[in-house]
Structure 1
């Protein structure tokens, strides 16, 4: 076999895995139908969220549930078909979001998030990608003083428990840092630990070049079959067949298609999302990555313009785009910051691969030697790709991983 390992999927997670395996001396090929960083990893908000120790839970208070049911919010939208298709997983998501269950999930999830910035730092240096990185954190901006006050209580508790750095900004302090924001903003939480990337797709592509510098090979092909072949695996594509002893499924929202053919029924579902780039009106400047916390969209000062990223849409992965959520977010954003014209002919659409317990699946497949999983990262694939690569490479090489990996193994769903 030409390769020891085939990594399927060249998003942030797949590139992170491939890089760390190549660093350990393996002959690794990274296979995708498109160039590295061209799919889900291209379209996110570009934040390496070191502060994201508490994953997104299913709201359980009546006010939030009623607002979601109305299907008019900016943060969450759904289609009936999307809810029906993900029904079993959503029910489990609801159960895992109960206070007692969620309290067990948070420290497990936080152990993974704690590795995120350091893992990216290694790959940024190897890739020579310093020019893409900002290290001044990001902000949750609040229109309501009451909402800000409630959030500050949560933030202080998380900060004390997990050692997170933040600043509480009143309206005046916020205006000093973001003078072009509308006066309706009451204040903000400025998270200091996270880093951000001005071009997420370009960062993944830079990491892929660092992988190639370690002797790795990037292959292009659309997967047609995955099957056991002798003591290893054979992956057939429209560009030919490739064989290796080990394969890693890092296919993001497309993983479920191939898991089913291999006999695994994992409760995965997708949350779709959209983005659009805008100019700023006049000489206005957006200086930080900003979440409109009361509304549920994010503004990012990217190379391509100001990127507006929506919240979650529960809809089938390949269903036609629905732009009402983006349009509602754009209307809200124009009331917060002076956005100018759209800079793209149509919105970008992508899908996030999610699990009902909010934790990714990282580790060996329970019933197949040489098959490994790195999937289900939901909103944090961009944040966690390099850390996932470190951990999975350690497992595949028989080393002791940096954190306990039992909470992330597939067996919890089987």
Structure 2
């Protein structure tokens, strides 16, 4: 009889992991309190970011930090009442973002990103999800020449060091790409390698259907009820179908992972960056051709299947605090000036929480002090991008295989506690 493995969390990380384990002949039960991809994986810019080899750092420039302090921006917002709770995470995040340390982290992080397209392609083809994918990159548009020059210089460095592909667009070339874009933009940077997903939730559901076709089982249940069996050999969780047991368990609960890890005695400093989105109809015959970031303002417009999705930057708040979509209101006001957006298509703004570690890299591997317990969380802004890469790594580790890339940089025991 095949070994039963529990995967807790049915976001893109958990579903991808469940697929790779099922492919290896395991009997896999995927557990989530909701449907697949209905939490953090539901709302994002829909990018598989092959160019994203450098994780998002905490700003080091004092002047910029002062400007963030006024708390009136689109790209970042904070809840003053949450700052004391967030200090342990933010202080470590700031420390790791020092230029020299950040460069070391980027080199360690890059192999995950570099394999993201190939690993997604494997699952996209197997799941028959090609209709959800576009392979024409995304672009940043610039209001000032100084910003464009700085970003192009960084793109040139990434091309040299990591093999990413890009091109520079002048004002006329940008107008040809996006004839309905308004405003005095001086040009753009087009990243050629990334793929985009017209329905991220739909992609996760397609992966789930493929998992089930492999014999996998999805149940609704309380993943935070995880307990080790009294014998110490195996685990169980409560589900709508009763208690579910497995010899091994993978914790892929994103920002809710600490609800389990803390109870088991692990003290990871896991922060969250909350984000919002809203869909809009285009006005008249307007068309947005590209996934487009307004670089100086820090919001994203994405032509999704449901409409044009407007996404915000990061909100620093308690994970479970009520929604406060002030960034969305700010972004919408600016976005309407540059593109003819019509009515909102969602009843209310969507909000999700990105799980973040202080060193900007995910936690992937065996739990240090428990047999049969594996961690796969902390992917921050790149959960969608890194789902299949993480799933393959975890499956290879659990079966004792040599991993296709060296995984020691993301090992769970790199943090104390």
Q: Same fold (TM over 0.5)?
A: yes
- Equivalent pair of 1:78/1:315 in contact (CA under 8 Å): yes
Residue 276 of structure 2: aligned partner: 274
Alignment of 1:9-408 (within 5 A): 9-223=9-223, 225-229=225-229, 230=231, 231-237=233-239, 239-408=241-410
Instruction: Show structure 1 runs of 5+ residues with no match.
Output: none
State the secondary structure of the residue aligned to 2:201.
helix
Any idea what the Cα deviations from partners look like across 1:244-300, whole Å, max 9, x if unmatched?
Answer: 000000001111111111111101011100000001111110001001110111111
- Alpha-carbon distance, 1:196 to partner: 0.6
Alpha-carbon shift at residue 70 of structure 1 (Å) = 1.0
Structure 2 unaligned blocks of 5 or more? none
Instruction: Give the conservation status (yes or no) of the 8 Å contact 1:136–1:194.
Output: yes
User: Is residue 220–residue 240 contact of structure 2 (8 Å, CA) maintained in 1?
Assistant: no
Task: State the alpha-carbon separation in 1 of the partners of residues 95 and 367 from structure 2.
Answer: 25
- Aligned-pair distance for 1:183? 3.4
1:329-360 Cα deviation digits (max 9, x unpaired): 11111122111111112100110000000000
Matched, 1:4 2:30: no
Cα pair 1:222 1:239 within 8 Å, conserved: no
Q: 1:2 to 1:24 in 2, by over 3 A?
A: closer
How large is the Cα RMSD of the aligned pairs?
1.2
State the Cα distance separating 1:208 from its structure 2 match.
0.7
User: 1:183 & 1:66 partners in 2: Cα distance?
Assistant: 28
Contact in 2 for aligned 1:3/1:29 (Cα 8 Å): no
Normalised by the size of structure 2, how large is the TM-score?
A: 0.97
How far apart are the structure 2 equivalents of 1:389 and 1:83? 34
Q: Retained in 1: the 8 A contact 2:219–2:241?
A: no
| Aligned-pair CA distance for 1:224 | 5.1
Secondary structure of the structure 2 residue equivalent to 1:362: strand
Give, in whole Å, the separation in 2 of the partners of 1:224 and 1:55.
29
Cα distance per residue 1:66-114 (max 9 Å; x no partner): 1211111100000023322221111000000001111110111111101
Determine the C-alpha separation between the residues in 2 that align with 1:336 and 1:402: 44
Structure 1 position 225, deviation (Å)? 1.7
Moved more, 236-245 or 306-315: 236-245
- TM-score, normalised relative to structure 1: 0.98
Contact preservation (8 Å) 1:185, 1:336: no
